[in-house]
Amino acid sequence: MTIQSQPQRSKTAQLSVWLTAACMSFAAWSQDAPQDGVYKDRIDWGLLMDMSGPTSASQGIWVNGFRDYMRRVNEGGGVFGRKINVLAEDNRFNPATDKIAYEKLVSQTPVIAISGMGMSASQVALAPTIKAGKVPIVGTYTATKALSEPVSPMVYNGFCGYKPMAQAGVGYHVDMLKLKAPKVVTLAIETAGGKEYHDYVAEAVAKLGGSATHLTVKVTAVDVTPQILEIINLKPDLITIYGVSNTAILTMKGLAQYGLNIPTFGITYLGAPQMFQSMGAQAAANYKFISCFTPGGVDQSAGNKAMSTYADSIGRVEMKQDINYVAGWVTAQMATEALTKLGKNPTRARLVESLSKGFTVNSQGLAAPFSFSASNNAGPMVFKLLGYDFASSKFKPYGEFADYEKYTR
């Protein structure tokens, strides 16, 4: 053991104070917070989505929309001079992979915030960790109850919610078809979100004095004949589909093969032009999807024009029509606005503090404006149905957002 003399100890302490002060002043000068994913010239932002696996057809497109918006922001100089660096992790439709990827974005390659979280099973599994953690989820893909309830300052929904989807889709069809005591079938893949979506459909139908039946299908199914036969048996007035693109294609082809003309609507992310084209005009005639977003090229709103122009300029002419692309674009806008509010010194803590005070996202027509507050993180709440016009190869809306407000407000 070495015993230091009094002057020596004093010198060591002095040196420590100098070193600490030097480090602090250097940090203040560079405004870095690498532990939060903030660097002198960039901010790291995380994405957790299925970029491979059965749901990648929709979630992969969402990632493209998010990246393209950020690319546009970076081309315009970034946020206060810092470029947004998107670190996208592929969870491969596997909650275990999602858990590893989440930890990576929290501590190994830290990001200021995360968007996406596309897999409902992962949301359920990770919800307690996210809510108790320090990295906010800004702009979820469709959020489950486990993640979005009760309201947490760590979670902000950026996609159309299951509950308003069910309310708007059922409400509109019941009004249009003048149904009394409607019989509805939910055809859903076997996931946490599928059961939750059906529960919301059943709730909405029950309020109208009707009944809802839940039919399940494997996420990788290539045969839905038993479900179609059950539909023949049940004779529903309306069908709603929760699943992947193949679920909707197989169902609509199956219904057409058996000559069944039953109005059907899919959840938001089952709204891609390729899906309708795969169904064919005959099978797609009864199919619409319910959406809180407007696909590219459908209207002339400022937001839609800006997105369409940029998408066209980088060769995303077809993709801009995919509802998932629009959703990714709007979520990136939400992320950028959240960062802009922080000024020149963003950190995770400041982002959480700023978000929890509430903010509004105005996408100038791509979605109806939506607001967050300390007691509301539901995200987009106004919807409309869209079908596909094979003659013009474009989506056509059934009414405006305002026509559907009564079902969800």
Partner 1 sequence: MFEQVFFSGLALGSIYGLVALGFTVIFKATDVFNFAQGMFVVCGAYLAVTAISILQLPFALAIVFIVVASALLGVLIHMTLIQPLLGRPMLSVIMLTIALSIALRALIEIMFGPQGRSLTTPLPTGVLMLGSVRISYLHLTAALVSWACMAGFGLFFRFTSVGLLMRASADSHEAAVVSGVNVNTMNRLAWAIGSTLAAVGGLFLGQLQIASTELEGIGLLALPAVVIGGMQSIPGAIVGGLLVGIIEQMAATYISPKSSDIVIYVLLLLILMVRPWGLFGQRELGRV
Give the interface with partner 1 as residue ranges (CB under 8 A).
52-53, 56-57, 215-218, 220-227, 229-230, 232-233, 245-246, 249-250, 253, 256-260, 277-280, 282
Q: Which is nearer to partner 1, 58 or 308 (CB)?
A: 58
Cis (ω within 30 of 0) for the bond into 128? no
**Contact in structure between 50 and 62 (CB atoms under 8 Å):** no
Instruction: Work out how close the CB of 96 gets to partner 1 at its nearest, in angstroms, rounded to a whole number.
Output: 20
**Cα–Cα distance, 82 to 50 (Å, whole number):** 27
Query: Are the C-beta atoms of residues 294 and 399 closer than 8 Å to each other?
Result: no
Closest CA to 208 of 398, 407, 378, 380: 407
Which one, 208 or 232, has the nearer CB to partner 1? 232
The tokens describing 212, both together, are: 């809802």
Least separation in angstroms between CB 218 and partner 1: 8
**120 vs 227, which CB is nearer to partner 1?**
227
Do 87 and 116 contact (CB within 8 A), yes or no? no
Pick 75 or 223: Cβ nearer partner 1: 223
Query: Phi, psi at residue 47, to the nearest 5°?
Result: -130, 135
Who contacts 1 (Cβ-Cβ below 8 Å, separation ≥6)?
A: none
Closer residue to partner 1 (CB): 9 or 218: 218
Minimum Å gap between C-beta 253 and partner 1 is: 8
Residue 167 CB, shortest distance to partner 1, in Å, is 28
Minimum CB–partner distance for residue 225 and partner 1 (Å): 5
Tokens of 142: 């469709």
Nearer to partner 1 among residue 220 and residue 313 (C-beta): 220
Tell me how far, at minimum, the Cβ of 255 lies from partner 1, in Å.
11
Give the residue ranges of DSSP H helices in 210-358: 225-234, 245-257, 273-284, 302-313, 323-340, 348-356
E-only strand ranges, 39-124 = 42-49, 83-90, 114-116
Minimum gap (Å) between residue 323 Cβ and partner 1: 16
User: How far is 76 from 10, CA to CA, in rounded Å?
Assistant: 52
Q: Which is nearer to partner 1, 245 or 291 (by Cβ)?
A: 245
The candidate with the shortest Cα–Cα distance to 241, out of 261, 275, 268, is 268
